[in-house]
Structure 1
Amino acid sequence: MPNTRPDFDVIVIGGGMVGATCALALAGRGLNLAVIEAQEPPRSWSQGAIDGRVSALNRASQRLFERLELWESIRELGVNPYQAMHVWDALSGGQIHFDSQALGEPDLGYIVENRVVQRVLWEQLENAEAVTLLCPAGIVGLETDSSGAQLMLTDGRTLTTRLVIGADGRDSLVRTLADIETETVEYAQRAIVAQVRPTDWHRDTAWQRFLPTGPLALLPLADGRCSLVWSADDDRARELLALDDAAFSAALTEASELRLGTLTLDSPRTAIALRRQHATTYIRPALALIGDAAHAIHPLAGQGVNLGFMDAAELAAAILLAHRHGRALGGRWTLRRYERARRHVNAQMLQMMDGFKRLFGNTEPLIVRARGLGLNLVDHLEPVKRLMMQSAFSGQFSATSRQRSASQQRLFSDHFDS
C-alpha cells in the first residue's frame, strides 16, 4: 500500500446489524470511518406489517445497545419481551420449560424485527461524527498488507484504509477476496420463515418442538402473532413450500400439536438453506471478519446475531485500545486480541448447536428414549436449569467467555463513559 495518509482509518464493508453496530461503537472516538453498504434499510412501513426476519436478542446484546445509547430508540419502534421458553421432543415426549421468574428477571430476552434494529443503527450513523456512508456501493477488489488496505469500488473509485472490517454476511466477498477458507458442513435443511397468527395467546413464550426432520420454533410478537422458523430437511421443506397457504397452515398446526391452537399463515414464506460455517481465521493483515462473514450457525437456538454483536463489540474494543496506545489499528497485536477473544467462544457455540441438531434429528430408539429422559430429568433439576438459563440469557457459555465479557465491559466503560 502507498505510504501516504489513507482515506479512512477504518472501513466497514456491510452496513447490516452487525457491521453498523461495530461502526457505531467506533464512531466519535477520534477515528475517520466509512461504511460501504449495497442498500439502505427501510425507514418506514405500513401499520401492521411485520418484517419476516426477526432476532431473539439476549441480555448481552441488549446491554451493548444500552451502552451505545440505542436501546430506547429500538424499544420505541417495537420489541416484545419473552418471559418463558418451552421445548419438547416429538418422538420421545420429553420436554423442558424455562421461566424468567426462576432467574429473578422480568424476561429472558426480546424478539425484535431486524428492520427496527437496522433503521435505528443507520439513523445514528447518519448523524455520527466522522462517519461516511457509501450507499449504494460495493467492492470488486481488495488488497491488504501490513501497512493497510486498498479497496476497488463498483463505481471505479479506489479507497485506502488502515483496517477493513468484513461484515458482509455468510457469503462474504471480503472473505473470498482475502483468500480465507471456511470449514463448512451443509445441513441439507432449509429454514422456512414467516409470520403466523394463532387462535390462542402465545403467553409471551418462545415455543420449540423438535421434529425428526428438524426443529419448529414459534417466537412471540407484540401484536399476538408469532414469527415462525421451521427448519426442515430439504425434501420436507420442498413439500411444505409447495403447499398452498391453507394446507401449509394445517400442516403447521398439526406439527405444533395445537399448543397455540390453530395457526394461520399471515405472510409470504421464505426459505434459507442452512449450514454450519466457520472461517479458518478471522484476520489477515489490515483485515478482520465479524458476524456471519466469520461464522454461520444453525438457527435452532437463535444465537447467530448475538454472536455477531459480541464480535462487533470485541473488535471495537481492541481497535479503541490500539488507538489509545498508538498501536497499528490493522496490526497483529490488535487483530490477534480480537480473534483470541472470539474465535474459540464462537467455535464452542457452533459445535454445541451442531450437537443439538444431530441429537434431536436422530431416530434411533435408544437415543430417542435417552434424550426424552434427559429432558424430563433436567426439567426437574432447578439448579441445572437455572444455570442453563443464565448462560443463554447472558450469552456467556464458559468461564473464558465470562472473563472476556468482563474485560470488554471494563474497556467499553473506559471509552463510552469518558
Structure 2
Amino acid sequence: MTQAFDIVLVGAGMVGAALATGLGRDGFSVAMVDRAPAPGFDPDSVPDIRVSALSAGSERYLQNLGAWDHILNMRATPYRRLAVWDETRHPLSNLLPPTANRVEFDATRLNTPHLGHIVENPVTQHGLWQAAEAEPSVTILAGSGIAGITRSEEQARVVLENGEELAAALVIGADGAQSRVRDMAGIGVTRNQYGQQAMVISVRYQGPVQNITWQGFYPSGPRAFLPLHSAGSDDPGESHASLVWYDAPEEIARLKSLGNDALMAEIQQGFPAELPQLTHIEGRASFPIARQHAKQYSAGRVVLVGDAAHTINPLAGQGVNLGFQDAQCLQGILKEARRTGKDLADASVLASYEQQRRPANRRMMYAMDAFYHLFSNRIPPLHLLRNLGLGTARALPFARNRVARYAMGIDDELPAIIRQLTARLPDLNQL
C-alpha cells in the first residue's frame, strides 16, 4: 500500500527536521524519512564532537519552530564576543601597531544580548525532532533509507529500503553532502578540495565558561576556540570547549596519532596564548575540507536544501546557518505556491527558490574562499593587506557592526554601501 503525502522529505538532520517542522506548521502533510533512529540526549554525557555556532537569526528561526526551548532545556552556550586575529609574524608586522591585526565584535556594541549560541549538533537535532513530533501533519519514518525515486508528470514515488512506498507532489533532499536524493535525481556537483583538513578536539579546561569564541590565523590555517558548558560537580571549576585545528593532512594525521597528554601539550604550545589551561581531552575527529555546489537545485519533482545543495569551507561556521536560510526560503515559496493553486513542483516555483538561494550561497562561498586564501599564506603583500583590513575594521566600528548584525541574522539587510559592493562581485556560476 502506498502512503500519500504532500511532501516527502529525506534526511532528518538539523536542516531537514527544521524544514519538516515548518512545513507541518503550515499545514502540509510531510513524511520525514531518515535511515538513523530518533536522536537521544543524555545530560550526563560529555559534549558531542560535532558542534555549530548558531547565529541570532537561526535562533529566531528555531524559536518560531518551537524547538528553541527544547534546545535550551538541554545544552546551549551563548557567546557575547567574537574575535579574529592574525598570528603570522613577518617583518612587515613591525610597520603596524600591535593591535592592528585584531578585531573583536561585542554584543553590547551591537545592542543585542548575545551574538549566537554554540550548540552540539545532536542537541539541535533532538530539539527539532521534538518540535516535529508535535506537528500532527508530520509523519516521521525513521530506521530506513530510500531505495529509489520515480517521477511522473503527476507525482513522485519513493520506495524505502524496508519496502514501504510513498507518493508526493515533491521530494526534498536534505540528506547531506553525499546526498542519495541528489544522485537519484541526476543532479551533478562541482567540487573543490582544499589542501587542508580540520581536526576537532573536545576538551575540558580550568576556569569558568567563557563568553567569547575566537579564531587565530596561522599560515597553515586557523585555530579556533568555541566555549561550551560547565563540566559540573564531577569536575568542579572546569568547563568544556571545542577546538578546531586546520592544517595539512600529514600534520593532522600526526596530531591524531598522539596520546592525550602529548596532544594536549601540542595544543597548548600551538594555539594562541588566549587558550585557557587544558585539563583533559575527551574526543577528537578530523575531516577533509571541500567546497561543493549542486549544478542545479532541482530536477523534476526533486529539490535540494542544505548540504545536499552546497557545502562551504567551515571557516566561519556558516554551513548550518545557510541551510536554515534555505529551509525558510523554500517553506515560504511552497506556502505561496499552495495559496495560488500551483503544483508544488512547478518549474517556476522551484526556479524561484534557486534564484533566491543560489546567489546568496555563492556569495558566502566566495567570501570564505577569499578569507581562506588571504590568511593561509606568508606572502608579504597579502600579510600587510590582511593586517590593514583588520585594522580598518577596528577603525570603522559603525560599518563593522552593521555588517556583523547582518551576518549574525540580527538585521535583515546589509548597509546600502555594502550591498552595492557585493553586487559587483564576480559571477561565480561555475561554483
Equivalent position to 1:106, from 94, 113, 116:
113
Deviation, 1:6, is: 7.2
Go from structure 1 to structure 2 and tell me whether the alpha carbon gap of 1:202 and 1:126 turns closer, same or farther (over 3 Å shift): closer
Provide the aligned length of Structure 1 versus Structure 2. Answer: 399
Matched, 1:252 2:267: yes
Q: How does 1:296-315 map to 2 (within 5 A)?
A: 296-315=311-330
Matched, 1:130 2:137: yes
Which deviations, in whole Å up to 9, do the C-alpha atoms of 1:50-85 show, x marking residues without a partner? 111111111111111121122222212121110101
Question: In the alignment, what sits opposite 2:307?
Answer: 292
Deviation, 1:247, is: 1.4
Question: In the alignment, what sits opposite 2:384?
Answer: 369
Equivalent position to 1:212, from 209, 219, 226:
219
Question: In the alignment, what sits opposite 2:83?
Answer: 86
Go from structure 1 to structure 2 and tell me whether the alpha carbon gap of 1:296 and 1:29 turns closer, same or farther (over 3 Å shift): same
**1:49 is paired with a residue of what secondary structure?**
coil
Question: Which amino acid in structure 2 is aligned with residue 216 of structure 1?
Answer: R
Question: In the alignment, what sits opposite 2:235?
Answer: none
Bigger mean CA deviation after superposition, 292-301 or 336-345:
336-345
Q: How does 1:381-400 map to 2 (within 5 A)?
A: 381-394=396-409, 398=414
Are the counterparts in 1 of residues 191 and 292 from structure 2 also a CA contact under 8 Å?
yes
Are the counterparts in 1 of residues 67 and 130 from structure 2 also a CA contact under 8 Å?
no
Question: In the alignment, what sits opposite 1:227?
Answer: 242
* Partner Cα separation in structure 2 for residue 101 and residue 31 of structure 1: 40
Go from structure 1 to structure 2 and tell me whether the alpha carbon gap of 1:41 and 1:134 turns closer, same or farther (over 3 Å shift): closer
Q: TM-score, normalised by structure 1?
A: 0.90
**1:175 is paired with a residue of what secondary structure?**
helix
* Partner Cα separation in structure 2 for residue 265 and residue 233 of structure 1: 25
Matched, 1:67 2:82: no
Deviation, 1:87, is: 1.1
Deviation, 1:264, is: 4.1
* Partner Cα separation in structure 1 for residue 215 and residue 38 of structure 2: 30
- 5+ unaligned residues in a row in structure 2: which ranges? 94-100, 231-238, 420-431
Question: Which amino acid in structure 1 is aligned with residue 168 of structure 2?
Answer: T
Bigger mean CA deviation after superposition, 235-244 or 283-292:
235-244
* Partner Cα separation in structure 1 for residue 387 and residue 69 of structure 2: 41
Question: In the alignment, what sits opposite 1:278?
Answer: 293
**1:27 is paired with a residue of what secondary structure?**
helix
Which deviations, in whole Å up to 9, do the C-alpha atoms of 1:136-177 show, x marking residues without a partner? 011122222442212222123332211000000001111111
Which deviations, in whole Å up to 9, do the C-alpha atoms of 1:344-383 show, x marking residues without a partner? 1011001100111111112212211221232123223212
Question: Which amino acid in structure 1 is aligned with residue 243 of structure 2?
Answer: L
Bigger mean CA deviation after superposition, 386-395 or 214-223:
386-395
* Partner Cα separation in structure 1 for residue 413 and residue 292 of structure 2: 20
* Partner Cα separation in structure 1 for residue 413 and residue 247 of structure 2: 27
Question: Which amino acid in structure 2 is aligned with residue 32 of structure 1?
Answer: S
Are the counterparts in 1 of residues 220 and 377 from structure 2 also a CA contact under 8 Å?
no
Go from structure 1 to structure 2 and tell me whether the alpha carbon gap of 1:6 and 1:201 turns closer, same or farther (over 3 Å shift): closer
Q: Which runs of 4+ in 1 moved over 6 A?
A: none
* Partner Cα separation in structure 2 for residue 327 and residue 377 of structure 1: 49
**1:102 is paired with a residue of what secondary structure?**
coil
Question: Which amino acid in structure 2 is aligned with residue 80 of structure 1?
Answer: T
Question: In the alignment, what sits opposite 1:51?
Answer: 48
Go from structure 1 to structure 2 and tell me whether the alpha carbon gap of 1:42 and 1:29 turns closer, same or farther (over 3 Å shift): closer
Percent identity for Structure 1 against Structure 2: 36
Question: Which amino acid in structure 1 is aligned with residue 114 of structure 2?
Answer: D
Are the counterparts in 2 of residues 194 and 265 from structure 1 also a CA contact under 8 Å?
no
Are the counterparts in 1 of residues 148 and 158 from structure 2 also a CA contact under 8 Å?
yes
Q: CA RMSD in A?
A: 2.2
Are the counterparts in 1 of residues 41 and 123 from structure 2 also a CA contact under 8 Å?
no
* Partner Cα separation in structure 2 for residue 63 and residue 141 of structure 1: 36
* Partner Cα separation in structure 1 for residue 245 and residue 9 of structure 2: 32
Question: Which amino acid in structure 2 is aligned with residue 344 of structure 1?
Answer: P
* Partner Cα separation in structure 2 for residue 390 and residue 23 of structure 1: 28
* Partner Cα separation in structure 2 for residue 208 and residue 29 of structure 1: 40
Question: In the alignment, what sits opposite 1:18?
Answer: 15
Go from structure 1 to structure 2 and tell me whether the alpha carbon gap of 1:239 and 1:171 turns closer, same or farther (over 3 Å shift): same
